[in-house]
Structure 1
Amino acid sequence: MRPNDRSVDQKGRSFIETARRAQIVEAAVDTLAELGYAKASFARIAQRAGISPGLISYHFRNKQELMEQVVTEVNADMERAIEERVEGAEGHVAVLRAVIEGFVHYCAARPARLVAVGQIEGAEGWGAQEREQSIGDFEQLLRSGQDDGEFRSFSSRLMAATLLAALEAVPTELHARPDTDVRAYADELATTFELAVRKVDH
């Protein structure tokens, strides 16, 4: 749910090299989404990208390095999309709504990317680490809302884990029900958590 620290130093790369790496990453995403992690070989990724497997090896030492880059770029892209929604939000409730709605809309717009990341994290065993990082981020937001008196008293850890579980279910739900009204789904999910955390004046 968030960028990790597996990014590769971008300094010193030419525009062509950067563009080629981006092409390979996108081909890897599509291959992972269609065939799964086990079948996402350099040969199949290269075939989808319309290049030779050797060219992938020139840019990435091995499959793991390419998979790391896929996760890093997808998470960074997702964070940028969510930050655009969060920008200008006033108050913790508004920020929470923007994060939830932003994630749902990102999943709807780029479903293959979420499937690809899920394939990688499941195969490489990175899911647990990423999950703890995401829970920590949500806990920080929730505690901040409590400290400012906007959120009621509750276990920030429990609420953060519950929120993450709800977000993790989004890609599967959208994939299973492609006719879902995404705007309504995002609004309903955000409202559910707004009601769960908001302080009620008596």
Structure 2
Amino acid sequence: MQPENRSGGQKRSFIEDARRGQIVAATIATITEVGYAKASFVQIARRAEISPGLITYHFAKREELMKQVMLTVHDSMDRALTARTESATDHVTALRQLIEGFVHYCAEHPAELIAISQIAAAARDAESARTWAEEQNERTLAELEDMFREGQEAGVLREFAPRVMAVSVLAAMEAAPAELMTRPDTDVSGYARELADLFERAVRAA
């Protein structure tokens, strides 16, 4: 993967990308430990064992850094879910693997989920990140709607309103992180399986 472009069309070096990744990881850890409001550049720099000035070299504003955290976590999640669903042979299996994969990702990445949830709920300097998260949410809903329509056209899924089902699936998935965090003894595999069973019964053609 090539480094992304900087302003002016210059490409970042792999060293710069690695440093940005280090800062993002430290930001996630800081938000998880002290909360979004207290996650200052000074606090983040302390955890990354770098100077605050090095953070401002890569991220001029706090808002820019918080948006990068959102991008990084969602990219990681997308890769994990793609790996789980790419072998699906039909729409029902794809939905099951998507739901189960999401639940397992949440269980395996609690700090990342805490960080992006706090950023998404924040005001003022997280506005850009919140707007991006809302746009990402709408794209996810559109993808689910498309998958449901295709499944209905193929005769694999029963007739229902794709938008309503997409909203319901996404809402159920988004409830998983809080459930797993507040109930750490939850059987993750069992939770994932039951949730997938619920929606398989809801969408499968008779």
Q: Same fold (TM over 0.5)?
A: yes
Structure possessing the higher relative contact order (Cα contacts under 8 Å, 6 or more residues apart): 1
What TM-score do you get using the length of structure 2 for normalisation? 0.89
Aligned to 2:135, which of 129, 134, 140?
Answer: 129
Structure 2 counterpart of 1:146, which letter? Answer: Q
Aligned partner letter, 1:45: I
> What percentage of aligned pairs have identical amino acids?
53
Hey, what does 1:75 align to over in structure 2? Answer: 74
SS in structure 1 of the partner of residue 184 of structure 2: coil
Please say if 1:178 is aligned against 2:177. no
Backbone CA RMSD of aligned residues: 1.6
Q: Deviations over 1:136-185 (max 9, x none)?
A: 12111111111111100001111111111101100000001111111111
1-structure distance, mates of 2:4, 2:15: 16
Note the 1:103-142 alignment, pairs <5 A.
103-123=102-122, 124=127, 125-126=130-131, 127-142=133-148
C-alpha deviation, 1:36, in angstroms: 2.1
The whole-number CA distance in structure 1 between the counterparts of 2:4 and 2:46 is: 24
Q: Tell me which residue corresponds to 2:28.
A: 29
Q: What amino acid does structure 1 have at the position aligned with 2:170?
A: L
How far did residue 119 of structure 1 move? 1.1
Match of 2:201 in 1: 195
Query: 1:121: Cα distance to partner?
Result: 1.4
Structure 1 residue runs of 5 or longer lacking an equivalent are 1-6
1:122 Cα offset (Å): 1.4
Q: In the alignment, what sits opposite 2:173?
A: 167
Is 1:152 aligned to 2:148, yes or no? no
1:8·1:69 contact (CA, 8 Å) conserved in 2?
no
Q: How many Å separate the matches in 2 of 1:8 and 1:52?
A: 23
Conserved? CA contact 2:4–2:12, under 8 Å? no
Conserved 8 A contact 2:4-2:11: no
Q: Give the gaps of 5 or more residues in structure 2.
A: none
CA contact (8 A) 1:142 1:151 kept: yes
Q: CA deviation digits over 1:10-59, x for unaligned, max 9?
A: 77222221111100000111111222221111111111111111000011
Instruction: Kindly indicate whether the alpha-carbon contact (under 8 Å) linking 2:41 and 2:55 is maintained by their aligned counterparts in 1.
Output: yes
Deviation at 1:133, TM superposition (A): 2.1
- In the alignment, the residues of structure 2 paired with residue 84 and residue 167 of structure 1 have an alpha-carbon distance, to the nearest angstrom, of 18
CA deviation profile, 1:112-139 (whole Å, cap 9, x unmatched) = 1111111111113435333322211211
Q: C-alpha distance in 1, partners of 2:111/2:85?
A: 24
Distance across 2 between alignment mates of 1:160 and 1:49:
39
How far apart in 1 are the matches of 2:79 and 2:5?
A: 19
1:56 correspondence with 2:55: yes
Moved more, 158-167 or 118-127: 118-127
Q: What is the one-letter code of the residue matched to 1:9?
A: N
- In the comparison of the two structures, how many residue pairs are matched? 194
